[in-house]
Amino acid sequence: MKLFEYETKNILRKYGIPTPKGGLATNRSEAEEVATKLKPPFVVKAQVLVAGRGKAGGILFANSVEEAEKTAEKLLNMQIKSIPVKSVWIEEKLQIKKELYFGITTDRFNQSYVAIASEFGGIEIEEIAAKTPEKVVMFYINPQKGLRSFHTRQIARTMGYAGCQILELGKILERFYAASMDYDVELIEMNPLVETIDGKFVAADARIILDDSALFRHPEYKKRLLEDESELTSQELEALKSDLAYVKLDGNIGVIGNGAGLVMATLDTIQHYGGKPANFLDVGGGAPAEKIATALKIVLSDPNVDTLFINILGGITRCDEVARGILEAKEEVGVTKPMVIRLVGTNEEEGKTILTKAGIHMLESMEEAAQRAVEISKHGGK
């Protein structure tokens, strides 16, 4: 889950990390109220959950309260990468001496968090790494020991600082790491982290991406994800509400399975036979009929789906419950698209009986079922 810039800065301030003074506005009158409490000049930033908003015209400057009002109104009436701007963050413009980069993310290959730092900030870190890789410092963090003060001072030194500035920058990086652990981040970055003309360090821009699997520990953000602005599709939102793991893909064969490993194997098998999966959907273990029905509704709500492949290996999940869920969804949604079903495991015979009576036939081999789904998606079963 992506957080807005203002949400990220609110978190950083809780940890004692300096950020520019600012406030949030959703209309022109609120913009005036915020700006009158600040010192000009101002930076007015569109709050959207997409990268590259600066290049898209989402960050503007104003020299007076009146100009800040007009600028805020302009941004609130525009879209950035097809996303409407619903709020703006107005803050005091910093007098910048130098722009830096600092971020923390996960390195799945090394099974570790990694701190990434550069004395060049303000542009994408991938661009910095591609053009001047020697200017990017990567420090792998021992998960048992964490990022300690001597580590952060070492990083500050590699970024070109000495003396008291090493201590100040080191403290900011150490607090930044604490925030990243407390909020279960997949990515957290300050870009730019600026050195001001008086030698201080301030997070001029920042962002956080939370690990969706940890949202139960952050209910305030999960609530916003479900009820307010979100980068998720309607299918992803409905899946999240129903405790289903769903990822939209670009194919035309809808996929439902139980267990992430089985669903991944299903996607691979479909592609092996020349098909294109439309989604990843894992109903989890022990899914009742209602959950199965919800999963079908979510997958079938995608207009790109023309064939459905249901692959269930019943362990905790009972095949008879899956069969009832399929019939429930067929009755409620009026399923007209062809379904290929592979149903084996716990209460398998009961499940097959329920579906056979309804005129729905099953296959026992995942490979055979995947091949059949691909044939139907390409030729309508002919």
Tens digit of each residue's pLDDT (9 = 90 or more) over 136-184? 999 999 988 999 999 999 999 999 999 999 999 999 999 999 999 999 9
What is the pLDDT confidence band of residue 382, given thresholds at 50, 70 and 90? very low
Do residues 88 and 145 both lie within one domain?
Answer: no
Residue bearing the bigger pLDDT, 65 or 319: 65
Of 93, 119, 149, the last residue of a domain is: 93
Task: For residue 225, give the nearest of 206, 215, 217 by alpha carbon.
Answer: 215
Task: For residue 10, give the nearest of 242, 179, 244, 194 by alpha carbon.
Answer: 179
Residue bearing the bigger pLDDT, 283 or 229: 283
pLDDT above 70 (res 362): yes
Q: Which of 6, 101, 177, 183 is catalytic?
A: 101
**Which residue is listed with tokens 């101002």?**
42
| pLDDT average, residue stretch 100-109 | 94
The enclosing H or E element of 2 equals: none
Is 209 inside any structural domain? yes
CATH of the domain at 70: 3.30.1490.20
Do residues 210 and 239 both lie within one domain?
Answer: no
Rounded CA Rg of the chain: 26
Query: What's the confidence (pLDDT) of residue 231?
Result: 64
Is 88 inside any structural domain? yes
Give the residue numbers spanning the domain of 197.
96-217
| pLDDT average, residue stretch 294-306 | 91
Alpha-carbon span 257 to 343, nearest angstrom: 10
pLDDT exceeding 90 applies to what percent of the chain? 63
Amino acid identity for residue 265 in this structure = A
Residue bearing the bigger pLDDT, 33 or 290: 33
Do residues 212 and 271 both lie within one domain?
Answer: no
Q: Contact, 45 vs 58, CB < 8 A?
A: yes
Q: pTM of the full predicted structure?
A: 0.76
- Into how many domains does the chain fold? 3
Query: What's the confidence (pLDDT) of residue 312?
Result: 86
Tens of pLDDT, residue by residue over 71-95, are: 999 999 999 988 899 999 999 999 9
Do residues 370 and 271 both lie within one domain?
Answer: yes
Q: What are the residue ranges of helices labelled H in the chain?
A: 5-14, 28-36, 65-76, 125-131, 149-158, 164-182, 219-227, 234-241, 260-272, 289-300, 319-329, 348-357, 366-379
Is 14 inside any structural domain? no
Alpha-carbon span 246 to 255, nearest angstrom: 10
Query: What's the confidence (pLDDT) of residue 156?
Result: 96
63 DSSP assignment: S
Do residues 107 and 206 both lie within one domain?
Answer: yes
Tens of pLDDT, residue by residue over 242-277, are: 888 899 999 999 999 988 999 999 999 999 999 999
Q: Which of 30, 189, 195, 321 is catalytic?
A: 189
CATH of the domain at 121: 3.30.470.20
Is 294 inside any structural domain? yes
Lowest mean pLDDT among 8-17, 179-188, 239-248: 239-248
Of 93, 115, 134, the last residue of a domain is: 93
Of 93, 110, 132, the last residue of a domain is: 93
Do residues 181 and 111 both lie within one domain?
Answer: yes
Catalytic residue check, 101:
yes
Q: Contact, 195 vs 186, CB < 8 A?
A: no
